[in-house]
Amino acid sequence: MAEKQQHHFLIIAYPFQSHINPCINLAKHLISSTGADITLSTTVSAHRRMFSSISKPDQEVNDGLITYIPFSDGFDEGFKSGSMDPKEFVSHFRAKSQPNVSTLVGDLAAAGRPATCIIRTIFLEWVAEVAGEYGIPSVLYWIQAATMFTTYYHYFHGFENLIRSHADDPLFTVCFPGLKPLQIRDLPSFFTDTENTFHISLLDCFRGVFQVLERDGRVLVNTFKALEAEALDSVNNPQTLSLFAVGSCGPLSGGAGHLFKEDEKKYMEWLDTKEEGSVVYVSFGSFSLMKKEQKEEMVRGLKESKRPFLWVVRKDNREEGEGVIEIEEGGGEDGMVVEWCDQVRVLAHRAVGCFVAHCGWNSTLESLVCGVPMVGVPQWTDQYMNAKLVESLWGCGVRGEVDGDGVLQGEELVRCLELVMGEGEKGVEIRNKAKVWRDKALEAAADGGSSDVNLKAFVEHISE
């Protein structure tokens, strides 16, 4: 009998925290589940932030499991927003990155470690061309919800005109095949925003994702079967699209991957002093910015709720002259504000009883895996859909209603926190649902669980 092929997966990650985290999780699961060799590559600027102690910005790093080798995208010192328009950036990024990734693939082969499969995240469709040059299988890693994948698929396959024609009606109902009815307000913001050039460029990037899938429809999806079975089944077709739900592989905690420096405040020790399920954790992720009015209302709501809170306010999301003390004092003596933290460790702590979040997919999954109910305050892109799923489909949280300026008022935050954390019937139901989904997520990731089985099936698929 022929010996099974030892795979070497080269994972190319877009240089955002929301792309890098799930790629590291996937890499760890591939190693533990299949014994594969893994090289993870992102841009030089992101690599040097992940490994701040390296002597050279392009230095190869091995953490004992994963080898990290960066590629240059022409912005090795980091991209300054506003220095070029979105279309120009996309063109420049590809022109600089594609030949450097091609060189990386060649160098790995020359070093006796040829890649047997290349995995790419969204916005990196040119990676499929690089794989084609070398005759290597390529696969997309969809780092958003399966429901979002299905929504994009149908938008680009017959629903675009319908959605655009009702762009001004947030309550208009859209019925995609295989999904429960959705409203315009649940869809990605750039489906209906035809004025914002950044949104237009992002939609073009997603269009490119699905154009490449017309030629090679193999997709790893960062979700698990029990969570989104209908969405996965509605577009899964072995002849055209093969979706493998491999998510909840064990959330990232510590080690490599963080693009932001962890705050030196002893926030975990602070959590140790709080009662079980009493703390409100607030974070709007690595990209979303909370405007000044929203921070003021957040302070007001947290103060009025009289619950202890841990709040992440990134350094790049502070107004001039606005310090940690100012925000912290606004919330009273029982609050702590940090610039960045290890989110999974926080969510897994017994004291955390609610997560007030922007509903990015990483945060949503991490909250599910840790069994923490959510108050969703979506800002843009897929966050509206995630908040809808959390509230209406999975029942493990609520979506806060914002005012005409998109601000969650303090009294609305108080209402949501009381609903989720209070002793009313609804709160008990939400917390119970959160525990149910935690158990299902852990079951999916365990040996023999659906995500583990699907990952092994994928490896068999590309080995044929």
Residues identified as active-site: 19
* Interstrand relation of 61-62 and 66-68 (parallel, antiparallel or unpaired): antiparallel
Question: Coil, strand, or helix at residue 217?
Answer: coil
Q: Which candidate, 131, 123, 76, places its Cα nearest to that of 104? A: 131
The span from the CA of 300 to the CA of 54, in Å, is 43
Which tokens hold the place of 421?
A: 């954390």
Nearest to 354 by CA among 390, 403, 379: 390
Nearest residue to 152 (alpha-carbon basis) of 224, 248, 221, 227: 221
Rounded CA-CA distance 349/345 in Å is: 6
- CB burial of residue 127 (10 Å; 0-12, 13-18, 19+): buried
Q: Is 50 helix (H, G, I), strand (E, B) or coil?
A: helix
Q: Name the E strands within 275-360.
A: 279-283, 309-312, 335-338, 352-357
Closest of 135, 26, 106 to residue 459, by C-alpha: 26
Q: How far apart are CA 255 and CA 44, in angstroms?
A: 18
Among candidate residues 222, 206, 151, 153, the one with its CA nearest the CA of residue 180: 151
Amino acid found at 233 = D
Here the tokens at position 29 are: 């699961």
Closest-CA residue to 120 (of 129, 112, 133, 110): 129
Distance in angstroms (rounded) separating the CA atoms of residues 50 and 73: 16
Name beta bridge partners: 376.
357, 399
